[in-house]
Amino acid sequence: MANNLATKSIDPLLVYDVNQDAVQKFIETHPNARAASSPGDIAEQAATVITMLPESSHVESVYKAMRDAVDKDSILVDSSTIDADVSRRVAADIMSKNATAFDAPVSGGTLGANAGTLTFMVGAPSLESFEKVKPVLCHMGHNVVYCGCNGSGQVAKLCNNMLLGISMIGVSEAMLLGTRLGMDAHLLASILNTSTGRCWSSDTYNPHPGVIPTAPSGKDYKGGFSNKLMAKDLRIAMKAAKDASADPVLGTVAAQIYNQLSVTKDFDSLDFSSVYKVYFKNKIDR
């Protein structure tokens, strides 16, 4: 995402991360980028700030660090996937300082991030404010969607990721069944991808090794979206479901599977498509 901002925007880009080696490597390859010393430093110097963090607690901490530096000209966009209530609370606090806050979680995975084809699900104070921030997000995504008021982007993202977890498990089961019954994995995937079983987990991110060489499954499930993060998103989705008096049966099963993966040695940091590896090797007692 930062690479696309650096290459497509004419404005200077400030970057900060707790991984200073990653920051140094980035600024060495992007002439218009320079390192900031802290989130507060970025908020003091930049009119538009985009954050992407693992969990709600990290967002709250970073926004607290930026709070005193923002003013009426500040635009803060959080692309983390977190609890919608936390997102609304953080936005309200920032807007009490007369700044403008957005929740804009993304979908498309590492492939979409690299290609600049992400979908942004945006919660905004108004449609007018959404239109002002949209051009910046278009540097990183093809689909930038106004979902409604602050927090709405998080609601859309949680629903999407619950479905994503369910579909990845379903594709893994289908691919395993077909190959164990003698089907060639590439042929089976091509049939699924031109039939009613088609979905992103099959045609873009297939979990069977080698079917899509650029997917994490073709790289021993390294990189990508970790089982830890999928488990976190599904926990948030299950909390939201409970608060809404909903009972997502398949979502609950998916949450249980990914929660177990997230605490299993050698699987916690692997891409979430490695759930196929679990089925294939039967390493986890489900």
Cα separations (Å) of 79 from 152, 164, 212, 267?
Answer: 13, 18, 27, 25
Distance separating alpha carbons of residues 169 and 280, to the nearest angstrom = 12
Q: What percent of the chain has pLDDT over 90?
A: 93
Scan for tokens 């969990």, then name that residue.
55
Q: For the chain, give the mean pLDDT.
A: 94
**Residue 197, C-beta contacts closer than 8 angstroms, at least 6 positions apart:** 171, 174
Residue 34 reports pLDDT greater than 50: yes
Q: What integer is the mean pLDDT of 83-104?
A: 97
Q: What's the pLDDT at 46?
A: 96
Catalytic residue set = 157
Percentage, residues of the chain above pLDDT 70? 98
Q: Output the pLDDT for position 135.
A: 96
Mean pLDDT of 154-176: 97
Average pLDDT of the residues in 270-285: 77
Q: Does the structure show a pLDDT above 60 at 284?
A: no
Q: 180-218, pLDDT tens digit by residue?
A: 999 999 999 999 999 999 999 999 999 999 999 999 999
Residue 134 pLDDT > 50: yes
Question: What is residue 109's predicted lDDT score, i.e. its pLDDT?
Answer: 85
Q: For the segment 222-232, what is each residue's pLDDT rounded down to a tens digit?
A: 989 999 999 99
Contact 234, 186 (CB under 8 A): no
pLDDT of residue 281: 61
